[in-house]
Amino acid sequence: MTDRKPYKSDLSDERWALVEPVITSWKAQHPSVSGHEGRYEMREIVNALLYQSRTGCQWDYLPHDLPPAGAVKYYFYTWRDDGTDQVIHDLLRWQVRERRGRLADPSLVVIDTQSLHAAAGVPSETTGRDAAKKVPGRKRGLAVDVLGLVIAVVVLAASVHDNAFGTALLDKVAASTAGTVTKAMVDQGFKKTVVDHGRQVGIEVEIVERNPTETGFVPQPIRWRVEQTNGILMLHRRLVRDYEHRPSSAESRVYWAISDLMTRRLTGSATPSWRGA
C-alpha cells in the first residue's frame, strides 16, 4: 500500500483481503507479454474505481495520487468485459448470505426498475424516455434477494417496457443461480408476458398488487427490499445519474457499488454518507 493520505472510499487491509485473491488469480492468468508486472498496484486500481463510484467524478478528475485515468479505465473495461467484476461481486454475496445462515444462492428474488436521467454525452441511441415517469435517459432493472443483495442487473433505454426488463432479469437470475430461484415478486408495472416467461425458466412470478385504499408511498412486505437497494445505490454519486456510454458499464458500476457495501458488511466497517456534506 502506498504512503499517500487515504480516502474514505479506500479499501482497508481487511476489505482488500476479500477482493485480492480474485485479482491475483486474474493477474496470473493474464501475464504481460514482456513479463512486466505493471506500474500500479492492483489495490490502488480498485481504490480508484471505488473513489470514482462514491464521488461521481469524471475520469480526468481522478486525484493525482491515484493511478492515472488511462490505467484505471483499462482495468475497469477489461474486468467489465471478462466478468471479473461480477465474479468478485458474486463471491462476496455468497459470503454475506452464508454468514447470515442462508444458502449461497436464494430461492426468491424481488424485481423492479428505476429510471435515471442520462448525462450529457451519453449516446442517444442507448437512451429513451420513460413516458410514465417522464424521465429521459436509461432504466436500471434489479433482481435482489431478501437481504437486498443484487442477483442480477440490466440497464437499457428508459423507453423500454418493464416486460423486457423482467424477461431479461429472469434469464440472468436463472443462469446465475443454478436453478435455486423458484419465485420472483414484481409490481404491477410487469405484465403477463413476464409471468409466462418465468414459467418457461422455472420461476413463478407473483405480481404484487397495490392496496387501492392506500395513498402515498407504502412499503410492501418483502418487495421493499429492492427499494432499499436502490436507496443504497444512491450513496454512490456515479449511480445517481447515468454517465456511462455503454449500458454494460452502468451494470458494472452497480456490481462495484454493491461489492463495496458487502466488503464493509463482512468486515464490520461503516459506510460513509455524503448526505451531510
CB of 117 within 8 A of CB of 109?
no
Segment 166-215, tens digit of pLDDT: 999 999 999 999 889 999 999 989 999 999 999 999 999 999 987 666 66
Q: Is the pLDDT of residue 275 over 90?
A: no
CB of 96 within 8 A of CB of 267?
no
Per-residue pLDDT, 277: 44
* Rounded mean pLDDT, 229-243: 96
CA separation for the pair 22, 30 (Å, rounded): 12
CB of 129 within 8 A of CB of 101?
no
CB of 43 within 8 A of CB of 20?
yes
Per-residue pLDDT, 269: 85
Closest-CA residue to 232 (of 189, 272, 176, 269): 272
Which cell goes with 260? Answer: 463495496
Per-residue pLDDT, 123: 96
Return all residues near 175 (Cβ < 8 A) that are at least 6 apart: none
Segment 46-71, tens digit of pLDDT: 999 999 999 999 999 999 999 999 99
In DSSP terms, 139 is beta-bridged to: 115, 156
Q: Is the pLDDT of residue 88 over 50?
A: yes
* Rounded mean pLDDT, 125-140: 95
Segment 21-43, tens digit of pLDDT: 999 999 999 887 655 566 899 99
Q: Which CATH architecture has domain 104-211+219-242?
A: 2-Layer Sandwich (3.30)
